[in-house]
Amino acid sequence: METANLTGRTVLVTGAGSGIGRETALLCAARGADLVVCDVDDAGLAEVEAAARARGRSVLARHVDVADREAMRAFSQEVEAQIGAVDLLVNNAGVGLAAGFLDTELEDWDWIVSINILGVVHGCHFFLPPMVARGSGHVVNLASMAGYFANPALVAYSATKFAVLGLSEGLRDELHTAGISVTAICPGIINTPITRNSRARGAADDPAARERFVKLYQRRNYGPERVAVNILKAVERDRGVAPVAPEAWVGYGLKRLSPRLTGWVSRRIAAAAENKE
């Protein structure tokens, strides 16, 4: 799909009220797209809606929890009735959980799986059929560098992002004759409010550890607006998997070169983040 000029296109972004979702929605609006956006953060969503409307775009903004199957069903029915099939579906909404496996509660698994995996499943399940019926469109799923480079300090998060990557790769192959393309985005270390919003357990559940985590992302200083530009570039180039920041590319190459070395590097990174070394 050509993304330099999105006039006449409709782009749907979940979790559009903050970070990568916000910047992607606003970049699409700046390039001419009309928007369908949802979030559970009403204030963030209202800001994005107002900014896109100020550019003259039409915006359908709804409070929808991507984990809530019936809410997603109703949202998709409303979108189909008003707009029909969207052109670009960005399953972006996601949450973080800083914890090793032994510190992760079963309730944490329910929570993160329901948003990071089932939220993406719901987006695809409800919004893809009209796209398939029309025979065109592109799906972007926000995976992560942790979707191929498992991190011992983010075990459940990594597991959900491996799932998003697997879903995206399978879906891409399934739909390649249907005129629909699929891209998994693997951003890297991106400075967004996710560092403050993530749940934390065990050693990570401590204000000093949280500050270290936030500072690490701030020092890295790779903003969500750069991810948004790369998302549209990946759609234009029709990439199946798109690492974004340099560390995501390095991790991607390293995993292919030597899975054993990848494990060693992951442990070193987790230890450094915990300030053990």
* Contact code string over 104-143 relative to ligand NAD, x by CB under 6 A: -----------x---x----------------------x-
Q: Applying CB under 6 A, does 65 fall inside the site for ligand NAD?
A: yes
Judging by beta carbons within 10 Å of its beta carbon (0-12, 13-18, 19+), is residue 33 exposed, middle or buried? buried
Structure tokens at 274: 């915990």
Q: Applying CB under 6 A, does 218 fall inside the site for ligand NAD?
A: no
Q: Which of 193, 202, 240, 263 binds ligand NAD (CB under 6 A)?
A: 193
Q: Applying CB under 6 A, does 251 fall inside the site for ligand NAD?
A: no
Total chain residues near ligand NAD (CB under 6 A) = 31
| For ligand NAD, the closer CB: 20 or 131 | 20
Q: Over the range 146-176, which residues count as b (16 or more CB within 10 Å of their CB) and which as e?
A: bbbbbbbbbbbbbbbbbbbbebbbebbeebe
Q: Is 15 left (phi over 0), alpha (psi -120 to 50) or beta?
A: left
Q: Applying CB under 6 A, does 103 fall inside the site for ligand NAD?
A: no
| For ligand NAD, the closer CB: 8 or 155 | 155
Q: Whose CA is closest to 201, among 162, 155, 144, 160?
A: 155
Crossing angle (nearest 10°) for helices 19-30 and 224-236 = 60
Q: Applying CB under 6 A, does 241 fall inside the site for ligand NAD?
A: no
User: Using CA atoms, how far apart are residues 39 and 95, in angstroms rounded to an integer?
Assistant: 12
Sole residue written with tokens 């409307």 = 53
Q: Closest separation between CB of residue 213 and ligand NAD, Å? A: 11
Q: Closest separation between CB of residue 98 and ligand NAD, Å? A: 12
* Range in contact with ligand NAD (rule: CB under 6 A) among 17-25, 127-135, 171-179, 250-258: 17-25
Which residues participate in catalysis according to the annotation? 157
| For ligand NAD, the closer CB: 63 or 134 | 63
Structure tokens at 195: 């560092």
Q: Closest separation between CB of residue 113 and ligand NAD, Å? A: 12
Q: Which residues form the interface with ligand NAD (CB under 6 A)? A: 14-15, 17-21, 38-41, 44, 65-67, 92-95, 115, 119, 142, 144, 187, 189-190, 192-194, 197, 224
